[in-house]
A and B are shown apart, each in its own frame.
Chain A
Amino acid sequence: MATSHPRVAQGVPWRSIGKILIVIFCVLFLTLPLIEMVKAMIADPQLLVRQLLIGLTNGAYIALIALGYTLVYGIVELINFAHGDLYMLGAFFSLTLVGVFSLTPETPWLIRGPLLVVVLLATMAFTATLNMLVDRWAYRRLRGIGSRMAALISAIGISFVFQNLGLLWGYLRFPFMNGVMGSNAVAPKSFPALFPNVNLLAGTGVRFGAKDLIVVGVSVVLLAALYVFVTRTRLGKAMRATAQDRDAAALMGIDVNRTISLAFILGGALAGASGMLVGLYNGTAVFDMGFTAGLRSFTAAVLGGIGNIVGAMLGGLLIGIISALSDQYISTKWTNAVVFGILVIILVYRPTGLLGDDTAQKA
């Protein structure tokens, strides 16, 4: 060491100085705000609980979208850039159905409840079918012919196609839609407030609305169903086998193309459910809403370990909670920086994500 780095030997410890500077930097710019944050959290625990609950709700829908990225990546190693936009189309489709069924906040629950379930299932079927067809028409032809980039670029192209579909959708003025698309095609569309907004924790100083419970409840049911499907059933095992070794899976009698279609179908269905839930929760949908949501969900999938379904759920929850805390205690403007900063730090120490293993565990 001393001979090859004489400068170090001469006693000017540049590296140590660098480290000390980093420590000072961290103390100045991270520790102090962190202490302030913790102080604020302790001072008002109700606020903290409220933000955690908001994080839970956001995390639930992010996890639903993240699973679509992780299922498809796990099996064909394609980052499906169009996935966020599929979620947007899910929101548009459900809004259209809301118009078709003339659902309003005045519709009695006896009718509204079952119809909302119909809207949810129809939206899931719509996005699932669309996702499967895109795979068949576009990505499947590009599989196994050299570069994976071809499929990746196609996915980016499909993302633009979807966004423009969303724009066109805004122009639809069919009488049976009962004017849900509003007067301006490009502007955000409004959903009627169909989810009840009563505070379930009234009197505690914490807010957790009935609509939060619906979003979290539906998400949890769907996530649990997917988990059971993938781990316990014949088709789920076929998916995991195909993800791990496509040729060996084929030679065990698995129709690989059908199994890949299944991954697109499941991912698409979850994106549709998420689109409807978020549309009704926020009361709005816009043609470019898929970009940010897609980016965050993809981040969640990478954070949890892409290809790992439990990882995607965990990643979604973490991203939701970190965003909610950052919104409150730092600034909404800094939230993206905080989320992606944490992603970078985690990937530096665990390049395969929180639950990914070295051999890139899949599905």
Chain B
Amino acid sequence: MTNILETRGLTKRFGGLTAVDSVDFSVATGSITSLIGPNGAGKTTFFNTVTGLYTPTSGTIAFAGRSLVGLKPHEVTAAGIGRTFQNIRLFGNMTAVENVMVGMHSRMHANVLGILAHSARVQHEEATARAKAHALLDAVGLPAQRADDLSKNLPYGDQRRLEIARALATDPELLLLDEPTAGMNPQETAELTQLIRRIRDERAITILLIEHDMKLVMEISESITVLDRGAKIAAGLPHEIRSNEQVIEAYLGRGAASMAHAHARNGGEPT
């Protein structure tokens, strides 16, 4: 299986702080991969570096065989990586449908002259984009009557869905989801898990997920990578990560690790 995303020795330093520390990381094409780790482990910084918001201090990022280092964020998006944000970052004063249409920006072509001339092609493109946006809203399960509400007025769960619709509108091959279920109740989380699976299965989009909900991570992921204090401490299948001592230690501390390990040997599961 080929890897759609591969980093080698990826490092990002802010002054004396090494937020991402020579991380070798790969995402298999077509997989659902999770990136986990305690708070402050450098997961979001990793996302920001991959998507071009930060320039890596050193290391390489290859996406579908092409280097992303030095590309601007909009170029990374055009290359085929879409993302959502840990703290929702919708365009609050635009409607849900407009938010999704902004996501299509780099796939549309209308320029100033065409717009001023009000050409038929531009109008057609705008109408097509609007229809596509409505279809995406429907696909993520946002109620149709909410499509023209300002996004800041949407309920929290719908805002999370809208962010995913907007990211899908960029027409990505790889979708980065930064804590998509943060703040959701168990029912909403279950629905979102379904949605993520559907996106991968129906649209053939590879998913890379940052998530704190371990139940979700273990259930959905085909591969898990664990970061702690910027460095990769483990990578593997869910059941391997579950029983990895270093991982348990990172989450629960040294003493807890041995306890949990003993517990696991007795047939239980660490939480």
Contact = CB atoms under 8 A, between A and B. Distances in A.
B129 interface: yes
Contact of A232 (B53, B77, B126): B126
B115 interface: yes
Nearest to B152: A359
A187 interface: no
Contacts of B166: 252
Given A251-B53, A255-B72, A241 B112 contact: no
Contacts of A229: 115
A244 B112 contact: no
A235 B110 contact: yes
Interface in B59-93: 72-74, 76-78, 83, 85, 89-93
A255 B78 CA distance: 10
B237 interface: no
Nearest to B129: A234
A234 B110 contact: yes
Contact of B98 (A237, A255, A256): A237
Contacts of B94: 237, 240-241, 244
B223 interface: no
A240 B74 CA distance: 16
Contact of A251 (B51, B122, B125): B51
B73 A251 contact: yes
Given A248-B85, A251-B83, A252-B166, A233 B110 contact: yes
A253 B101 contact: no
B108 A234 contact: yes
Interface residues of B, number: 39
B93 A235 contact: no
Interface in A236-274: 237-238, 240-241, 244-245, 247-256, 262, 265
Contact of A253 (B90, B103, B125): B103
Contacts of B105: 234, 237-238, 241, 252-254
Nearest to B176: A251
Given A248-B89, A255-B74, A262 B112 contact: yes
Given A235-B112, A250-B74, A361 B103 contact: no
A244 B202 CA distance: 32
A131 B166 CA distance: 33
B218 interface: no
Contacts of A361: 93
Contacts of A252: 74, 77, 102-103, 105-106, 166-167, 169-170
B85 A235 contact: no
B203 interface: no
B107 interface: yes
Contact of A247 (B73, B107, B167): B73
Contacts of B53: 247, 250-251
A237 B110 CA distance: 12
A234 B72 CA distance: 20
A253 B77 contact: yes
Contacts of B101: 234, 237
A253 to B, nearest CB: 3
A228 to B, nearest CB: 9
Interface in B91-141: 91-94, 98-99, 101-103, 105-108, 110-112, 115, 122, 125-126, 129
B72 to A, nearest CB: 7
Chain A to chain B: the 7 pairs with minimum beta-carbon distance, closest first: A253-B106, A250-B73, A253-B77, A248-B89, A241-B102, A244-B91, A234-B110
9 contacts: A234-B125, A237-B101, A237-B102, A245-B91, A250-B73, A251-B74, A252-B167, A252-B169, A362-B93
Given A235-B115, A237-B102, A256-B74, 5 more contacts: A234-B126, A250-B77, A252-B74, A255-B72, A265-B112
